[in-house]
Structure 1
Amino acid sequence: MQADYETLRKLVTRDLAETLLRVVLIVLLVLVCVRVFTPFSHLVIVAMILAVALYPLYVRVVRWFGGRRGWSATALVLSALLLLGTPIAMLGVAVTGELSDVYHGVDANEIGLKAPDPKVAEWPIVGPRVYATWSAAATNLPRLLQQNREVVKQYAKKILAMAASALAGAALFVLAIVVAGILMVYADEEKRVAERILTRLTNREQGPELLELSIATIRSVATGVVGVAVIQAILLGVGFLLAGIPGAAVLAFAVMFLGILQLPAVIVSIPAIAYLWMADDSSSTVAKVLFTVWFVVGGLADNVLKPLLLGRGVEAPMLVILVGAIGGMVAGGMTGLFMGAVLLAVGYQIFMQWVDRGPPASADPPG
């Protein structure tokens, strides 16, 4: 009896040791894989989101090219780089330059505010007060910054870090467009792999449903929310740059941020119009009128774009998108703003589908 007990104990000990060794090896393998993948995680995630969002357009392009998937992806990527990548890269470089100028201006105590046009004082009712307030701010701002120099310098360092993040985010987005083109070429194989993984994690019924729900949510949020915000940011940002509005790229980023939060872009475009007419510069009246029309159209463009794009797929609650955008930006910078809104919306939809399924029906007890 004692011999049987010792034999059983040795077998259990050996099996436990082998199990622990396997668990340790699996954990080490997972940690190594995660560490290797982490530097590319933002790029891959953004590229996957872009690939899913652009795939319906890619299918149309494939038909135009007679089924040539490689040539179709190349044409779509080049078009996306021209229409989206180039303006985003320009705005990224401009944001970096503007924020860097703010930092160096604060460091050298050279930050100031442009004086208003004397014609502003001739406006009826509000003109004299606006002119006096603006003139006082232009005169007192350098003195105020000098009095709070240390506090301002601390915030200026954070602004410099934001500038680096903006440039890195713009470069990553441009590269993600190229990677998305490669992913779209092999989309059928990738979809089968994703379906197999989700089926293995759930079952044969829920796996394909979760995949379709995720795809629909990504397309809805990426095109109807983030896409509209990016288009408005590019449209108004280019206008701000051409009109010479101070901080044009930063204002463009503000437009994109407000658009993702589902707030109107006119919050930014109307003050830009006011500055355009109030600043003391040599711009012609015709140019001011043209830029005013540009800013008005750009600020209201979401009213046309949202019905066209948001109707596709599943519409996620705006609170979820807001939390995802803010949380993503805090965690991942400029690219996190884009990823957070999409990923949290997908997670929300998957969670709500699980909630709607409810607990499995229990079998009636035998009578």
Structure 2
Amino acid sequence: MQPSFRLDGRLSRDLLDLFIRAGLIAVLVAFSFQVFRPFLELMLWALILAVTLYPLQCRLRQRLGGRDGRAATLIVLLALALLLVPVYLLLVSLGDSLEQLLALLRSGDWSLPAPPDAVAGWPLVGPRLHQAWLSASGDLTSALQRLLPHLKGSGRALLGALANVGAAFLLFVAALIIAGICMAYGERGHHAAQRIATRVSGPDRGPRIVTLCTATIRAVAQGVIGIAFIQMLLVGVGFVAIGVPGAGILALVVLLLGIVQLPATLVTLPVIAYVLGTQGVALATIVFTVYSLVAGLADNVLKPLLLGRGVDVPMPVVLLGALGGMVVQGIIGLFLGPVILAVAYNLFWQWVDEQDAPADPGQPD
């Protein structure tokens, strides 16, 4: 009985050591995650940008004599210029518009023109809209006083949304700078990612998983930016053709909305209302309305065509991952969702295909 007692005691000590080590590791991982958590979104964005822009880094590095630092710095400066110039123009345009509005309010010579008679003929909302517009054109001050209590809540919500957009923009700028640092050490980072994936999934699956993740991130990023650019061109052509004031600035707003995955109808619908209100219902305005609606919804058709290009995974998997990830995690989920779903899809079919080789019938049992 003594050997059995010694064996049980040794087993209990081994289990106790195992539990203590596992507990200490769990505490260390939990504490490390709490420390890193404030920077998690920033680092994820930096990693996504670095993976997306690294092919451009490789091309510039060859032309700059193999210097990664200079190539990464040049990419970051060009990207910051492409981001800050449209934002600066937009802010200048908004500032000028606000100054004109304040000057008009101070002068007291402001009024609303009478509505066209065609507005009354619009279905459903035409008569009410015509009556409210006519009343406001007669006494705009009283109309604004009636609307002021309803506008306070909307104004607060709008200011909160603008603050969130500003914070997201600053986060993106910081992530872009960190991505430049990551690209300067791109080869080391690639080797490190392969080593980690190999340690987790084995020498056969590891490099393939890294390649799949990289291709998925680049396909989604290029698809998102490409779709936003195409939509900006489509909407901008319509605005210029009909003579909308500030068509270029509005087209840039459509580009920014497409990048952050907001619908372009946030711009096209107010512009359609403005054109119909100022130019009336005619053949040109009807064609513009239909064209703008189609252009504003073009991303719903382009996403299935562009998001899955260059990825060794069926397009519906990437599309579902992008939509589902965005619903769960917002904009960053647009990239994480397809990566996670693509890796899971790939690993699932690798597991399905891994079958034991059939036994040789000529070999005795």
Indicate whether the TM-score tops 0.5. Answer: yes
Match of 1:33 in 2: 32
Return the alpha-carbon distance in structure 2 between the equivalents of residues 324 and 212 of structure 1: 20
Quote the residue 2:319 is aligned against. Answer: 318
Give the Cα–Cα distance (whole angstroms) in 2 for the partners of residues 66 and 251 of structure 1.
38
What's 1:83 paired with? 82
Q: For residue 11 of structure 1, what is the aligned residue in structure 2? A: 10
Matched, 1:42 2:41: yes
Amino acid at match of 1:343: L
Within 1, Cα distance between the matches of 2:57 and 2:254? 28
- Alpha-carbon spacing, 1:350–1:277, altered in 2? closer, same or farther (3 Å): same
Cα shift readout 1:289-336 (whole Å, capped 9, x = no counterpart): xxx9xx899869979x9899757522454333222222222xxxxxxx
Q: Post-superposition shift, 1:270?
A: 3.6
CA contact (8 A) 1:115 1:134 kept: no
Q: Distance in 2 between matches of 1:156 and 1:174?
A: 27
Residue in 1 that maps onto 2:190: 191
Seen in structure 2, the aligned counterparts of structure 1 residues 279 and 78 have a Cα distance that, compared at 3 Å, is farther
> 1:361 corresponds to which residue?
355
State the secondary structure of the residue aligned to 2:65: coil
Aligned residue number for residue 352 of structure 1? 345
- Partners of 1:186 and 1:160 lie apart in 2 by 40
Distance 1:244 1:72 in 2: 36
Output the CA distance in 1 between the equivalents of 2:254 and 2:164: 15
Question: Which string of whole-angstrom CA distances, capped at 9 and with x for unpartnered residues, describes residues 43-79 of structure 1?
Answer: 1100111111111112222223222211111111000
Out of 256, 260, 270, the residue aligned to residue 258 of structure 2 is 256
User: What CA distance in whole angstroms lies between the structure 2 residues aligned with 1:142 and 1:364?
Assistant: 84
**RCO greater where, 1 or 2, for CA within 8 Å and sep 6 or more?**
1
The equivalent residue for 1:23 is: 22
* 1:123, distance to aligned residue in structure 2 (A): 8.1
Say if 1:199 and 1:206, in contact at 8 Å, map to a contact too: yes
Q: Is the 8 A contact 2:115 2:130 kept in 1?
A: no
Match of 1:277 in 2: 275
Unmatched segments (≥5 aa) in structure 2: 96-109, 137-142, 280-288
Contact 1:87/1:234 (CA < 8 Å) preserved in 2? no
Q: Deviations over 1:82-118 (max 9, x none)?
A: 1025545887x89xx9xxxxxxxxxxxxxxxx98644
* Paired residue secondary structure (1:198): helix
Larger Rg: 2
Where structure 1 has 5 or more consecutive residues not aligned to the other structure, the ranges are 98-113, 282-291, 330-336
Q: Deviations over 1:197-244 (max 9, x none)?
A: 11111121111111111111100001112553378579979x99x947
Q: Which amino acid aligns with 2:339?
A: V
Residues of 1 paired with 2:278 and 2:170: CA distance? 36
Contact conserved, 1:232 with 1:255, CA < 8 A, in 2?
A: no
Cross-structure match for 1:340: 333
Pairs aligned (count) = 318
CA RMSD of aligned residues (A): 4.8
For 2:10 and 2:89, the matched residues in 1 are separated by 67
Hey, what does 1:136 align to over in structure 2? 132
Moved more, 355-364 or 198-207: 355-364
Q: In 2, Cα distance between the equivalents of 1:130 and 1:228? A: 35
Using the alignment, how far apart are the partners of 1:189 and 1:205 within structure 2?
A: 20
Indicate the residue corresponding to 2:329 in structure 1: 328
